[in-house]
Amino acid sequence: MKVQAGSLVSGLPPRPRAGEVTETLCEQPGVRIERIVSTGQVTPDGQWYDQDSDEWVLVVKGSARLRIDGEAQDRELGEGDYMFLPAHCRHRVAWTQSEPPTVWLAIHIFTKC
């Protein structure tokens, strides 16, 4: 394996974008690190993410609101805010800033070694 380097905040996908753009930055057994660029996309009404793996997310640029199932209101996420979402913690993206885009770092953790 070799050193790999890049930038989360440059080389954003060109416009117009039909949807969120997810790029895998690093994939190792049990872990996948992604950059996700959102431009206003939200989880469709009535739908929830319900994942088999743990996820740790960070808002690198922009801002967003997440709703955790069972909570009374959205959680606000600004630059530098992170959240750990354990597997099967139902959640939805309620809002994302579109301009400038919202850049997420997402770490999916599959390890049950």
Q: Would you mind telling me the total number of residues written for the chain in this entry? A: 113
Indicate the residue among 1 and 18 with the shorter CB distance to a copy of itself: 1
* Side-chain half-sphere CA neighbours of 83 within 13 A: 20
**Residue number with CB closer to a copy of itself (15 or 112):** 112
Asked if 54 is part of the footprint of a copy of itself (rule: CB under 8 A), the reply reads yes
Q: Which one of residues 21, 42, 58, 94 is an interface residue with a copy of itself (CB under 8 A)?
A: 58
Q: Using the rule CB under 8 A, which residue among 28, 45, 52, 73 binds a copy of itself?
A: 28
Q: Closer to a copy of itself at the Cβ: 18 or 70?
A: 70
- Cis peptide bond prior to 100, omega within 30° of 0: yes
Q: Minimal distance in Å, beta carbon 55 to a copy of itself?
A: 10
Please report, in angstroms and rounded to a whole number, the separation of the first and last CA atoms in the chain: 22
How would you list the strands of the sheet with 91-96, edge to edge?
A: 75-77, 64-68, 91-96
